[in-house]
Amino acid sequence: MKPELEALLKAYDLFKQTPDGPEATRLSAIYEAKLEEASLNTGLNRETLRNAVSKFHQRWVRANLPSGFPKKLGFE
């Protein structure tokens, strides 16, 4: 996986896991900055990137589960 895409997925993951509050606001700003950077580097608009990240996030999480966790988690 490209490092830029992985960084975007990690930023999204941190943002999604953080409860509302100042930390969530800070992580949202980091995620949006990474979206903007990726948009400039790839030529894709931010909305397209945002949709792609949200679509592939669950798959990425499952692929990065520690051994012992069922890889079909959430597919049933």
Q: What is the pLDDT of residues 1-13, one digit of tens each?
A: 678 888 899 999 9
Residue 45 domain boundaries: 3-63
Task: Give pTM, 2 decimals.
Answer: 0.77
Residue 10 is assigned to a structural domain of this protein? yes
Interval 31-72: pLDDT, tens: 999 999 989 988 889 999 999 999 988 888 888 877 777 666
**Domain count along the chain:** 1
Total Cβ atoms within 10 A of residue 33:
11
* Of the candidates 28, 9, 8, the residue with the CA atom closest to the CA atom of residue 18: 28
Q: For residue 76, is it within any domain?
A: no
Whether 74 is in a domain gets the answer no
Given the structure tokens 């990690």, which residue do they identify? 10
Question: What are the residues whose beta carbons fall under 8 Å from the beta carbon of 45, sequence distance 6 or more?
Answer: 39
| Residues 6 or more apart in contact with residue 28 via CB below 8 angstroms | 15
